[in-house]
Amino acid sequence: MKEKVLELLVYLMSEIRENKPLADIDLGSLQNRGYTTSEISDAFGWLYEHVPPGPALSARPAKARGTSRRMFHEAEKLVLSTEGQGYLILLAELGLLSDQDLEAVIERAMMAGYEKLSAAELRQLAAAVLTARRADSGSDRPVVDGGDTVH
């Protein structure tokens, strides 16, 4: 999964949380912002594969995840910038990262020995984790590259 697809997912999930139906999202405006048709298609495909249909998603408050909130360890705070920590919390609250995915992103950051990773750098790690999850799930939907077209 590319970082731009993850950006789109954050935008789409935010819109859903505001009770806006996906059908009301203007795809033309997304293309005007620089997203390709294949990136938009991939983001919607991810949503259809991973988000249960129905009103339960938009009706559920972002805080009510059903589990406790994860706190960052002092060692993790050395590796993740405050902005980066906030970005990971956002991804988890929107339901884009499961608890296991969040741990995988933090583990990759810790093992790589980075210091103060920004949100942009964490977006790359999160996209890699979500791509790996998609491959592991046996999805038959291909992940398209940014320059690819869908026919």
Per-residue pLDDT tens digits for 129-140: 988 876 665 554
Residue 97 CB partners (closer than 8 Å, separation 6+): 88, 91, 105, 126, 129, 130
Domain boundaries, the chain: 3-136
Q: Give residue 126's Cα distance to chain centre.
A: 7
Question: Would you give per-residue pLDDT tens digits along the chain (151 residues)?
Answer: 588 999 999 999 998 888 888 888 888 889 999 999 999 999 988 888 877 766 545 444 444 455 677 899 999 999 999 999 999 999 999 989 999 999 999 999 999 888 899 999 999 999 999 888 766 655 544 445 555 555 4
What rounded mean pLDDT belongs to the chain? 81
